[in-house]
Structure 1
Amino acid sequence: MGSEAGAKKTINLNDHYAIKRILDETVSEVILAQGYAENMTLSNIKMGIGVLTCAFALIAQFYPKKFPENKPILIACIILYLVFNSLLQVIIYAKEKNHILFTYPLQGSFSSTGLAISSKLPRHSDLYTLQIASSDPQSIAAHSSVELTKSVTKWFTKDGAFAEGIFWDDVQKLLDEFESEPRKTK
């Protein structure tokens, strides 16, 4: 089941982000334990764009000439910084959305698409929503997405102890439901 046998995880139930983080991390553990490999392509692209963005800022800051002489370099670096930072925001907004994990297809499976796992825990709400979908919904191998919405009170005691086994089972059932779903029809 969980990765840390016998170790109880306890959190502050007033910390919305801690609740979501522990649930999201456990979802990733469950999915990866089932043989799926994490697809880091989007993360690597975001990191590459971030490094380029920082490089433009560093060039603008440390270019060896003083101000009036370096004006064209400063203008170019500022424009490139804005362009790449905007591109990063577009990727986060359009592609990443609420996704916490992208995977490759299972090793040895006939599917050509992995999983796209997303979650939501609205502020001031106890309803956690977990969705499993195909990472390429346009693929002929794509399954219909499945969703689970439950109160976090089902997985935490009143003193903040995480009932990891119960949550692990719920995620496993949702994954089983996704894998048994028929493929989408075009």
Structure 2
Amino acid sequence: MASNRTAAVPGSQKPDDENDTPIKVDKWDGSALKNALDDGAKKVLVDKNGCVESHRLMDGRLSICTIAVGFALFALIWDYTKPFPESRPILIVCVVSYFLLMGILTLYTSYKERGIFLVALEKDKAGIDPDNIWTLSSYLKRYDDIYNLNMVFTDGKTQQKRETNMARSVASFFDEEGKLCLEMFEPEIRKLQSSLLSDKKDN
């Protein structure tokens, strides 16, 4: 649900919106728990930290899917205008292309996205230097309660990457009703951020 928020200054925290209801899930559903925590981490970086979400990864996936669907539609239209067997060569090309693109999509999600659910751009206050990039990925194994969160910081100036991670039980962040306790989860996200930024200063 969209809320009337003003843009936040990076690093600052805004008061909670009274209409911003806590995320509530089935606490026995591992996928729902992971998605809720992913949404919570995204909320901290984007809504509270003033970063801007980048959709380039998702756009890449959508582009591959769009091209694949385009081949399927073209094959359908061509077969309608020139019924089989006249349409056979075009159908073969379209079907092969479709399955090749599905293979590319599988490789893209497995090796390019790799569980990434957020790429956030931290804008330079002066608007001169390139954006710093925060990349978050996570996984929660089936029948396991340990939520693994990986955070990568890419320095806009040097393009150097620093990485850290967290592994905590999902029970640490949800109450008995299955509501995400953001006030308990947010400090963990801040710790990861601080550790990466302190590494930057040390360098």
| TM-score (normalizing by structure 2) | 0.80
**Mapped pair 1:122 → 2:141:** yes
Counterparts of 2:200 and 2:148, CA distance in 1: 22
1:82-161 to 2 correspondences below 5 Å: 82-108=99-125, 110=129, 113-134=132-153, 140-161=158-179
- Corresponding residue for residue 71 of structure 1: 88
| TM-score (normalizing by structure 1) | 0.86
Q: Is the 8 A contact 2:140 2:146 kept in 1?
A: yes
Q: Is the 8 A contact 2:50 2:122 kept in 1?
A: no
Which consecutive unaligned segments of at least 5 residues does structure 1 have?
none
Counterparts of 2:28 and 2:173, CA distance in 1: 15
**Displacement, 1:105?**
4.0
Q: Is the 8 A contact 2:64 2:105 kept in 1?
A: yes
Deviations 1:74-106 (A, max 9, x none): 011012112222221111111100111112343
Counterparts of 1:183 and 1:75, CA distance in 2: 58
**Displacement, 1:55?**
0.9
- Corresponding residue for residue 30 of structure 2: 16
AA aligned to 2:71 is F
**Cα distance, 1:176–1:2 mapped onto 2, change above 3 Å:** farther
Which consecutive unaligned segments of at least 5 residues does structure 2 have?
1-13
Deviations 1:136-182 (A, max 9, x none): 8xx84324211111111111123323212111222122222222223
Counterparts of 2:101 and 2:22, CA distance in 1: 43
Q: What is the RMSD computed on CA atoms of the aligned residues?
A: 2.5
* Aligned residue pair count: 183
Question: Aligned to 2:52, what secondary structure does the other structure show?
Answer: coil
Counterparts of 2:15 and 2:187, CA distance in 1: 10
- Corresponding residue for residue 77 of structure 2: 62
**Displacement, 1:7?**
2.6
**Mapped pair 1:48 → 2:63:** yes
**Cα distance, 1:184–1:47 mapped onto 2, change above 3 Å:** farther
**Cα distance, 1:2–1:8 mapped onto 2, change above 3 Å:** farther
Greater share of strand: 2
- Corresponding residue for residue 185 of structure 2: 167
Counterparts of 2:15 and 2:149, CA distance in 1: 18
- Corresponding residue for residue 80 of structure 1: 97
Deviations 1:25-59 (A, max 9, x none): 11111111312211211211211111110011111
Give me the identity figure in percent: 24
The runs of at least 4 aligned residues of structure 1 exceeding 6 Å deviation read none
